[in-house]
Structure 1
Amino acid sequence: MVNVFDRIEWKVREIFGEGPICVHVGDIKECDIKRHPTYSKFRDEVISAGIRSAASSRLWESLIAMGRLSDMDGDDTWRMVVLDCIVPCFRGVSARISRDFRVELEEVQSAMVLAALEVWRDTEHGVPPRHVRDKMVKAAFDVAFRCGNGALAEWSSDEIELLFQSEMFAQESVLKASSIININGIRDVDVAEQLRGERIGALFQLLGHFGVVREFHDDLRAGRRSGSVRQTMTTSMLLRSRISGPHLYYYTSDLYPSYIGLREAAAVMGVPESAAHRLIRVGQFPFPAARAGRSYKVSVKALMHFKDIPDVIVHVDDVENGALHASGAL
C-alpha cells in the first residue's frame, strides 16, 4: 500500500532522476566541487550521516541550508529532499505505533511529517542548521507516540497534498515593444512595469555592462535558458505575458552569479569574515549559507533581500529600450 513516505520518495526521485545532484550550491555547473553523486547515492550517504551524528554532519548542514534557500525562492524541492532523507527513520516507529496501538498507519505517518514540517518552519531563524534535523526527528517521534496514546487531535493531510501539486505554465509567443516614457507619465502598474525595465537597462548601459545583458537576452529569446519568473510568478500579474508569455521576463538577480563566497558577502554586509563565520556557527546569520567543502557560499538573492536591494521583474524589451535611450540611440 502506497503511503505518504513512499510518495515523498517517489516525488524526489522523479525530480532528480539518475543524474548527479549538488548540495553545495544546487547547480552543478556553478559548483567548484566537480564530483557529484547520483541522488540515490547522495540519499544513502545523508541517511547514514544522520544516524552517525546529525549535529556534526557537514552534509546535513548543507542540505538544511539548501532547503532554506529553496524556500526563499518559493520552491519546495530541497525541503522535499530534507523530508525524504529523514522519513526512513520514521518508518519503523510508525509501523510499531500502528500495530501496537491499532492506529491507522497513514494517520501516524501524516502526523509525523506534519510535525517535522512545523519544526522546519519554527527553526527558520535562530537555530543552527546542524541542529534542525534532530529537532524535526524528535518532534515527529513525540507526535507518533501521542497518536498511540490517543491524545493527539485529528490531523489534516491537506498540507501534505500541497507538496505534490504541479505548476502550470503559460504558452510562449513573441513580442517586441517600444516604451520609452516620461517618469511623470506613470498612471498604472503596466506603465510602472515598463519604467522599471528601462531604468535597469539605462543603468547597465551607463556602467558599461550591457553587452553581458544582451547576451543573456539572446539566450532567453533563443530558448537556451529561462528566467526564474516562469517558476514563481503568475502570468496574470505581468503586462506582456498576455502576448509573449512569461519567458521573456526575468528577475534582475538572474543577471548576477547565483552565489558568492562568504568573504565577498561579508564585505557587502559590512562585517568581518570572521564575524560572519561566528554568526553561522551559532545560527544567527541573517540568511542561509550553504557549505561547500571547508568554506561557505551565499545566495546573491538572499543577500539582496537582506540589503533591501530590489529584485525587480523586468521584460527584455523594456531593458533594451532603456539602454538604447541611455546610449543616445533613441
Structure 2
Amino acid sequence: MPDVFDCIERKVRKIFGEAPVCVHVGDVKECEIKRHPTYPKFRSEAISSGVRSAPSSRLWESMIAMGRLSDLDGDNTWRLVILDCIVPCFRSISSKISRDFRAEREEIRSAMVATALEVWADTAMGVPPRHVRDRMVKAAFDAAFRFADATSSEWSMDDIEMFARPETSAQGSTLRASSIIDVDSIRDADVAEQIRGERLGALYQRLGHFDAVRSFHDQLRSGSRSGSVSQAVRSFGLLRSRISNPNLYYYASDLYPSFIGLREAAGVMGIAESAAHRLIRAGQFPFPVARAGRSYKVSVKALMHFKDIPDAIVHVDDIESGALHAGGGVR
C-alpha cells in the first residue's frame, strides 16, 4: 500500500509549488504582512517551531486557524499542510514500532494520520488553537502503539483522498426577506435564482449601498475584474452562463473584503472586542480567525456563515432589477 506520509507531502508540494505561502490570511496579494517564504522554507520553520513549543508558537496558531477556515470552505489544503508539518516527527517512531512489533509500517502510519484527523475534528470547538497540534501528535503516537500491539489492519488506507471529507455547503440557504415566497419551494431553479438576486438587490438599494454594487458590476462587465464563482458556474450549470458571460455571476461575498478586523467583527456579532479576545484564547470563539502578526483577522465568509447570511450565487441583471424596483424604477 502507498505510504500515506509520502502521499501527503507530494499532494501539498503539488498545491504550492514554488509560490510564496501566506499563513496569515491565505492570500499573498491580500495580506498586509509581506514576509512570505516558499513552501519548503515555511515547512521547515513550522516543523522546528512545532517541536520546540507549538503552544507558544504564533506560526502554529495561524496554521490551525487557516485549517479551520479552509474547512469552512470545504477545502482540505491547510488541513493537509498541518499534517505535512506534523508527520516528520512520526516517521522514526513508526519505523521503530514496525520493527519492534513486526507490524506493517504503512498501516501504522495510516493509523497515525487517521487518528490525528479525528483529533482535528474533535478539537474544532472548545480547544485553544495552541493546543491542537500537540493533541494530534500524542493521539497519533498512542494509536500507533495500540495498532501494533493488536496487529490489526482496521485502519488501513489506500489513498490520501479518503481524508477529504465532504463539507456541508451554505449554498442551500435562502435570503430572509419579507416576501411570502419560499425560494426553496420553487421547482424552477432559474426562477428561484432570479428571485434570490432581486431580493438581494432590493436590500442593497434600501441600505443605500447600490452605488458601490453598480461600480462592481461595471468592472465585471468590462472584464477588469472577475468574481470567484467561475468554477461553481460550471458545476451548477447556471442557465445564463451558457448564453452570456459567466463572469456576470458572482458570490454575494465578493462584494465585501475577504477579511475584517476583530473589532469590526465583534461589533457585527454584538459583543465587545475584549470578549472576542477572551473567547479566542479559550478556544471558544464560534468560528476560526486568522492570526496576522499581533492582531487577528476575521473571514467575512465565516462571519456570514455564523450570522446565517447566505453567500448566494447571483447574476448582475437580477441584482440590478431588484434595486431598480426598490428604488421606484429610477436608476
TM-score > 0.5 by shorter chain: yes
Cα contact 1:250–1:313 (8 A) shared by 2: yes
Q: Which residue is 2:68 aligned to?
A: 68
Q: Give the whole-Å Cα distance in 1 for the aligned partners of 2:258 and 2:79.
A: 19
Contact 1:62 1:290 (8 Å CA) reproduced: yes
Corresponding position of 2:40:
40
Q: 1:241–1:96: structure 2 CA closer, same or farther, 3 Å change rule?
A: farther
Q: What residue number does 1:235 align with?
A: 235
Q: Specify the alignment match of 1:78 in structure 2.
A: 78
1:170 maps to none
Q: Which residue of 2 aligns with 1:13?
A: 13
Alignment of 1:114-153 (within 5 A): 114-150=114-150, 152=152
Structure 1 gap ranges (5+): 166-181
**What one-letter code is carried by the residue in structure 1 that aligns with 2:318?**
D
TM-score of the two chains, using structure 1 as the length reference: 0.85
Contact persistence 2:7–2:159 (CA under 8 A) = no
What secondary structure sits across from 1:283 in the alignment? coil
1:26 corresponds to: 26
1:149 match: secondary structure: helix
- Matched-pair contact (CA < 8 Å) for 2:115–2:143: yes
Which region of structure 1 is more displaced relative to structure 2, 2-11 or 129-138?
2-11
Other-structure match for 2:169: none
In structure 2, distance between residues paired with 1:225 and 1:120: 37
Kindly tell me the number of residue pairs found equivalent between the two proteins.
314
Q: Is the 8 A contact 1:143 1:152 kept in 2?
A: no
Paired position in structure 2 for 1:260: 260
Asked whether the equivalents of residues 198 and 319 of structure 1 are also in contact (C-alpha less than 8 Å), the reply is yes
Q: Distance in 1 between matches of 2:198 and 2:247?
A: 18
- How far 1:160 moved relative to its partner? 2.9
Residues 112 and 220 (structure 1), Cα distance of their counterparts in 2 relative to 1, 3 Å cut: farther
Please identify, of 146-155 and 108-117, the stretch whose mean Cα deviation from structure 2 is larger: 146-155
Separation in 2 of the partners of 1:110 and 1:243?
48
Structure 2: gaps (5+ residues): 166-178
Alignment partner, residue 87 of structure 1: 87
What residue number does 2:198 align with? 198
Specify the code of the residue in structure 1 equivalent to 2:27: D
Instruction: Report the alpha carbon displacement of residue 228 of structure 1 after superposing the two structures with TM.
Output: 3.7
TM-score with structure 2 length normalisation? 0.85
Amino acid at match of 1:291: R
Which residue of the partner structure matches residue 179 of structure 1? none
Does residue 317 of the first structure (1) align with residue 317 of the second (2)?
yes
Q: Is the 8 A contact 1:128 1:282 kept in 2?
A: yes
Shift of 1:243: 4.9
Superimposed CA distance per residue, residues 9-40 of structure 1 (whole angstroms, 9 cap, x where no aligned partner): 11111111111111111112221212211111
CA contact (8 A) 2:19 2:38 kept: yes
CA distance in 2, matches of 1:102, 1:78: 33
Q: Is the 8 A contact 1:235 1:242 kept in 2?
A: no
Q: CA deviation at 1:232?
A: 5.9
CA pair 329-272 structure 1, distance change in 2 beyond 3 A = closer
Distance 1:200 1:127, change over 3 A: same
**What corresponds to 1:59 in structure 2?**
59
8 Å contact kept, 1:67–1:76: yes
Query: For 1:239-268, what per-residue CA distance to the aligned partner results, in whole angstroms no more than 9, with x for missing partners?
Result: 445556965432211211111111111111
Distance of 1:104 and 1:110 partners within structure 2? 10
Report what 1:168 is aligned to: none
Query: Structure 1 vs Structure 2: percent identity of aligned residues?
Result: 72
Q: Deviations over 1:124-172 (max 9, x none)?
A: 111111011011111111111112212645124267323579xxxxxxx
User: Separation in 2 of the partners of 1:162 and 1:233?
Assistant: 26
For residue 204 of structure 2, what is the amino acid of its counterpart? F
Asked whether the 8 Å contact 1:236–1:242 carries over to 2, the reply is no
